[in-house]
Amino acid sequence: MVINTNVTTPSDAKILVLNCGSSSIKYRLYRMPAGEVLASGSVERIGAGNSQASQLAHGQELTVWRPVSDHKAGMTLVIDMLTNIEKGAIADLSEIDACGHRVVHGGESCTGSVLIDSRLEAVIEENFDLAPLHNPPNLTGIRAAGELFGDIPQVACFDTAFHQSIPEKAYLYGLPYELYEEYRVRRYGFHGTSHRYVARRTASILNRHKNDVNLITCHLGNGCSIAAINDGKSIDTSMGMTPLEGVMMGTRTGDLDPEIGFFLTRKGFAPAEVSRIFNNKSGLLGISGASNDVRDLEEMAAAGHRRAELALEIFAYRIRKYIGSYLTILPSVDAIVFTGGIGQNGGQMRARIIADLGHLGIDLDQVINITGPAERIISSPESKIKIFVIPTNEEVAIARDTYKIGIENRIPELTN
């Protein structure tokens, strides 16, 4: 791709942010640099014969049922929805100035968002074995967009990139070093775009430069991860080579003795079944035997369901231990930040996690914790370490990177 570096920066570039999963495409069209959302939507059940697409643009809802055989057909449907005469957001495809793609795994070579070219496509492909469920559909989406949108800049934003600043002592496992050299077995971490977004937002609320904050960020959604951020850079995170490691999650185990896997195979479980148990049947769901949703479990626990209460207790306990360990590896901590579906909305859960930490200078305001605007400080004025709730916005972070790299044509490193 040839980029004309003499162009003046358009003040109303339209950026399409795409998140291509194995059977879905989620998208959001932004006007940048203002960050205004012009349309958002999704195409679901790609390849299943009964696909459904829905979109919201200018307050108008549009729903379409149409067989969508593959991602290219899905992307064509996205374009049809965006350019729909009555309920669309743009008159013509040529109004889109750049596309930003969420890509899960950038391996060790991608330390920030990058302009996509054939070399970068090869890097995404090289990392298929590290993210077999995510990188292949991510790349399929990139190629489909490349074919349909023509020669506009396309930018990849990686979930792993923000954590590439983690030092060797934190990312290496206690395994033979050759396994790292030969198979790249190491901790990568995920949710990087979210941790970076809330860290930058917290720095801005604190009136500090983005590289002048030490934070513990807790992304608690269906998947959960905690990050230790020193001078604006990730220095450790709870998820590992895969998103299974770390705190306990909705259906994932989090940290566990790896021998348990071998023990279960000796008991007759097939390796694929063990993997399914660890990833899909454990965590809040596995312990409660009832639900992976914190809201359901809180209701059940209040009604006396013992295992629902136990699941919530274990969930909070594990997060608390990670926060404790990150307090010891950071030179100081300005704030603990909660984000993600549970982190943003789960006041009861935040109170469980942060209960009785006054001896560490961490004190929650019990009232503001439960009610207030979506973005707020929830620590008491006496708390030495502030506590924030910051709604995450990975899409706008991708739109910003895409605008900077694809439109302003800055060097990739500037986005980190």
What positions carry a catalytic annotation?
159
Q: Exactly one of 345, 352, 380, 409 binds ligand ADP (CB under 6 A); which one?
A: 345
* Closest to 115 (Cα-Cα) out of 158, 149, 162, 85: 158
C-alpha 45/C-alpha 68 separation (Å) is 8
E strand spans, 12-153: 13-20, 25-32, 36-44, 52-57, 60-65, 98-103, 114-115
Among 45-53, 83-91, 293-301, 357-365, the segment contacting ligand ADP (CB under 6 A): 293-301
Comparison of 236 and 394: residue with beta carbon closer to ligand ADP: 394
List the x/- string, 229-258, binding to ligand ADP by CB under 6 A. Answer: ---------------------x--------
Stretch that binds ligand ADP, among 39-47, 104-112, 287-295, 327-335 (CB under 6 A): 287-295
Tell whether residue 136 is a contact of ligand ADP (CB under 6 A).
no
In 91-214, which ranges are continuous DSSP H helix? 118-126, 135-149, 168-171, 177-183, 192-205
223 binds ligand ADP (CB under 6 A): yes
Judged by CB under 6 A, the residue of 346, 377, 387, 403 near ligand ADP is 346
DSSP single-letter state for residue 107:
T
Q: How far is the CB of 392 from ligand ADP (least distance, A)?
A: 8
**Least Cβ distance, residue 371 to ligand ADP (angstroms):** 12
User: How many binding residues for ligand ADP (CB under 6 A)?
Assistant: 13
Residue closer to ligand ADP, measured from CB, 270 or 302: 302
**Member of 295, 320, 352, 376 binding ligand ADP (CB under 6 A):** 295
Residues 95-124 that bind ligand ADP (CB under 6 A): none
Which of 20, 6, 1, 150 has the alpha carbon at shortest distance from 75? Answer: 20
Report the candidate in 309, 379, 385, 335 with the shortest Cα–Cα distance to residue 201. 335
**Is 391 near ligand ADP (CB under 6 A)?**
no
Q: Which is nearer to ligand ADP, 191 or 404 (CB)?
A: 191
Residues pairing with 229 in the sheet: 215, 234
Q: Which residue is nearest to ligand ADP (CB)?
A: 341
Cα 176 to Cα 181: distance, rounded to the nearest angstrom: 9
Interface with ligand ADP (CB under 6 A), residue from 294, 335, 336, 407? 294
Q: x/- string (CB under 6 A) for ligand ADP, residues 313-342?
A: ---------------------------xxx
Choice between 166 and 311, CB closer to ligand ADP = 311
CB 206, CB 215: distance < 8 Å = no
* Cβ contact 95:101 at 8 Å: no
CB-based contact 336:385 (threshold 8 Å): yes
Kindly list the distances between the CA atom of residue 321 and the CA atoms of 12, 125, 190, 199, 394, in Å, as whole numbers in the listed order: 45, 36, 19, 21, 26
* H helix runs in 172-217, sequence order: 177-183, 192-205
222 binds ligand ADP (CB under 6 A): yes
Amino acid letter, 361: G
Query: Is 221 a residue that touches ligand ADP (CB under 6 A)?
Result: yes
Q: Biggest alpha carbon distance in the chain?
A: 67
**Strands ordered across the beta sheet of 335-339:** 233-237, 224-230, 215-220, 335-339, 386-389, 376-377
Is residue 309 near ligand ADP by the rule CB under 6 A? no
| Least distance to ligand ADP, CB of residue 346, Å | 3
Confirm or reject binding of residue 192 to ligand ADP (CB under 6 A).
Answer: no
- Cβ(105)–Cβ(160) under 8 Å? yes
- Mark the segment that binds ligand ADP (CB under 6 A) among 104-112, 240-248, 291-299, 380-388: 291-299
> What are the residues binding ligand ADP (CB under 6 A)?
221-223, 250, 293-295, 340-342, 345-346, 349
